[in-house]
Amino acid sequence: MIFSTNSLRAVSVSGLACVLLLTACGGSYDSFDGIAKGFAEGISCGLTNCKESAELSPGEIAIDVNVTQKMNGISVTATLHKSLNVFTAVRLSHTDSMTVSLNGRNIPLSDISQGERLKFSGLLADNSTQALANIQFQRGNEYFPASVTLPAPFSILSPSGPVNLNRSAGKLRVQLSRDVSNGVYISLSLQCRRTDGSSFTDITDFNPKLDNDAYRIDTAELDSVLNERSRTKNNQKPETAAVANCDIDMDWTNYVRGNVSNALNKYSSVRGQYAVTQRVYYDARA
C-alpha cells in the first residue's frame, strides 16, 4: 500500500518572502521546502545578498545537501545560506571547504554557479544499496559533519515503459514497487511546444495524489502546471499561447532526511534520495 505524503514545492525568487510571511501566504513552514529548495534552484548574488562563509560563525551557516541515487550514479549538490535569512546566500570561502564521501570514496564537488561559489556538485558511479553519505564542512582543523543513508531502491510497476498521456484521459495512475510514505515528490523535466509553434524547456515539481494503491496525476492539474511554467518562461506575457504537447521525464523521488552537526545552523538540511524516471508524452489537444 502506498500512503499519502506532502510533496515538495519549489520556491521561486519572487516567492521567497513567503517563507517569512506564512500567515499571509498560507501553509506551513519547512526548512528544506522553503529556504534550501529556493537556493538550490540557482539564486545568484545579483538577486540576493551574498556573504563569505569565512565572515560567519559556524552557527550562522546553514548547509543544504541533496544526495541522489539514480540508476547507477549518485549525484551530490550542496549550497550554503545564512540562518533563516532567505535573502542572504553564502559563498564558500577559499579558506573553508566541503567534502562528501560515499562508501569510503570521496566525491570532489565543483562550483556550478559560474564562479560565484554558491552551488557545488559532484557525481559518482555507484549502484550500491542504501549507501551512507558523509558530508563535512571544514574550517581549519574543525569539522562539522552531516550524514544520511540513502533510501532503498524501488521501481515503477505500472505503467511500464513510455506513456502516451492525453489531456482527455483525466488521470494517470502509477504504482510503485514499495511503500514510499516517508516522502515522495515528482520532478518534471519538460520539453514543450506551444500551439503557436514556439517551445520552451523547464524543470519543476509536481504533487501526485493518492489513489487507493497507487499515485494519481490529474491531467487537468498537470495541464495547468505546464501552462503556468510556459507563461513564466515567456516573461508572464498574457498572450502566451497554450501548451500543445510535451515530452516529460518524471523523476519519482523518495527522500529521507539525515543528521547535521548541532554546531551548524539549525536550518541546515541534508537529504538522501532515490529516483526513478518515467517518460511521458503529453498531448493537451487530444
Q: How far is CA 36 from the centre of its chain?
A: 9
Q: What would the 3-class secondary structure string for the chain be?
A: CCCCCCCCCCCCHHHHHHHHCHHHHCCCCCHHHHHHHHHHCCCCCCCCEEEEHHHCCHHHEEEEEEEEEECCEEEEEEEEEECCCCCEEEECCCCEEEEEEECCEEECCEECCCCCCCEEEEEEECCCCCCEEEEEEEECCEEEEEEEECCCCCCEEECCCCEEEEHHHCEEEEEECCCCCCCEEEEEEEEEEECCCCEEEEEEEECCEEECCEEEEEHHHHHHHHHHHHHHHCCCCCCCCCEEEEEEEEEEEEEEECEECCCCCCCCEEEEEEEEEEEEEEECCC
The pLDDT tens digits of the residues spanning 183-227 come to 899 999 999 999 999 999 999 999 899 888 899 999 999 999 999
Q: Are 151 and 162 in contact (CB under 8 A)?
A: no
Residue listed under C-alpha cell 562563509? 53
pLDDT at 30 over 50: no
pTM given for the model: 0.80
pLDDT at 133 over 50: yes
Q: How confident is the model at residue 39 (pLDDT cuts 50, 70, 90)?
A: very low
Percent pLDDT > 90 in the chain is 67
Q: How confident is the model at residue 49 (pLDDT cuts 50, 70, 90)?
A: confident
Q: Pairing relation of β-strands 105-107 and 156-158?
A: unpaired
pLDDT at 284 over 90: yes
Phi then psi for residue 225, to 5 deg, are -65, -45
**Rounded average pLDDT over 66-79:** 93
d(CA 263, CA 145): 9
Cell of residue 256, nine digits = 529521507
pLDDT at 244 over 70: yes
pLDDT at 251 over 60: yes
The pLDDT tens digits of the residues spanning 55-68 come to 999 999 999 999 99
The pLDDT tens digits of the residues spanning 165-174 come to 999 999 999 9
**Rounded average pLDDT over 113-128:** 90
d(CA 177, CA 82): 39
pLDDT at 21 over 70: no
pLDDT at 24 over 90: no
124 half-sphere exposure, CB direction, 13 A CA radius: 21
Q: How confident is the model at residue 48 (pLDDT cuts 50, 70, 90)?
A: low
Quick one: CA torsion of 209, 64, 191, 246, rounded to 10 degrees?
0
pLDDT at 162 over 50: yes
pLDDT at 15 over 70: no
Q: Which residues pair with 78 in a beta bridge?
A: 65, 120
Q: Lowest-pLDDT range, 7-11, 28-32, 203-207? A: 7-11
Phi-psi domain of 264 (left: phi exceeds 0; alpha: psi -120 through 50; beta: other): beta
Cell of residue 8, nine digits = 515538495
Of residues 1 and 51, more confidence is placed in 51
Q: What is the mean pLDDT of the chain?
A: 84
